[in-house]
Amino acid sequence: MKLKTITLFILMVALTACGRGREAAQIEQQLVSEGVEVSQAAEEPEVPQLPVMETSLEDYPLQTATDDVLVLVNKTHPVTRDYVADDLVTVEHCDPSVGTADTKKMRKTAADAIEQLIAGAAQDGYTLCMRTGYRSYDYQDYLFNSYAASYGEAEANTYSARPGQSEHQTGWCCDVGIPGWGLTAFDDTPEAAWVAENCWKYGFILRYPANKTDITGYIYESWHIRYVGLEVAEYITENGLTLEEYLGILD
């Protein structure tokens, strides 16, 4: 094979690898016209890309509402007092004895998903409800200060978020439970086991796993689930990750 021909062949392969298929095809046609048999390895199948967070760290603390389903809100990435989602709707299957009218709301996509989760649990013989969804900055301020007054600020900070640090304020998460039961009574129940095993099928993850306290900053909560979408929920669950680990934001 002539040096020119070899050079063209190498260039064709390089263009193909760089995704410049049209230019590679033109060179291939030239080689074929010169009587050169061109055979390339089969293209590798395209790897599906999971959704990733578009919000950069420069956007924290958030000043305005974001529609990013993967927005991270935790102890190091807070939201401001005026952060309110614009598509909050009331979830039908709520525990009427818990919270306020506002805490019975979630973002529309998440609200639809939690209704599907509750229906799926019912089909398997389990009765679930949503206890609290959206919490405003001021409502979270009231909760945290109540816990701190009763148990001390340090202990309260292990299970209750300070105002601005609660992802409840995003409208993407909720606490689930058994109607009429207390929150912590949900632990070690068949219903809690069902949620842990199946919530990903509806786009949710168990947000605060038992073995990830050093990452999430909170103790294990069997009841707190976060909507992230079907693909991401499956990936996070299969790989035993937290939202922080999936996003690669651990600081």
Q: At what angle do helices 3-17 and 21-33 cross, to 10 degrees?
A: 150
Per-residue pLDDT band for 103 (boundaries 50, 70, 90) equals: very high
Phi, psi of 123 (to 5 degrees): -65, -30
Which pair of tokens denotes residue 217?
């900053």
pLDDT digit string, tens, across residues 36-78: 665 554 455 555 566 666 666 677 787 766 778 999 999 999 9
Is 238 in the active site?
no
Average of per-residue pLDDT across 129-142: 97
| Closest by Cα among 15, 207, 203 to 109 | 203
Residues 6+ apart with CB under 8 A from 20: none
Rounded to whole angstroms, the Cα distance separating 219 from 86 reads 30
Q: Is the confidence at residue 29, as pLDDT, over 80?
A: no
Domains assigned to the chain: 1-47 (no CATH), 57-247 (3.30.1380.10)
Per-residue pLDDT band for 5 (boundaries 50, 70, 90) equals: low
Q: Is the confidence at residue 22, as pLDDT, over 50?
A: yes
Q: Of 155, 221, 238, 244, which one is the catalytic site residue?
A: 221
pLDDT at 121: 98
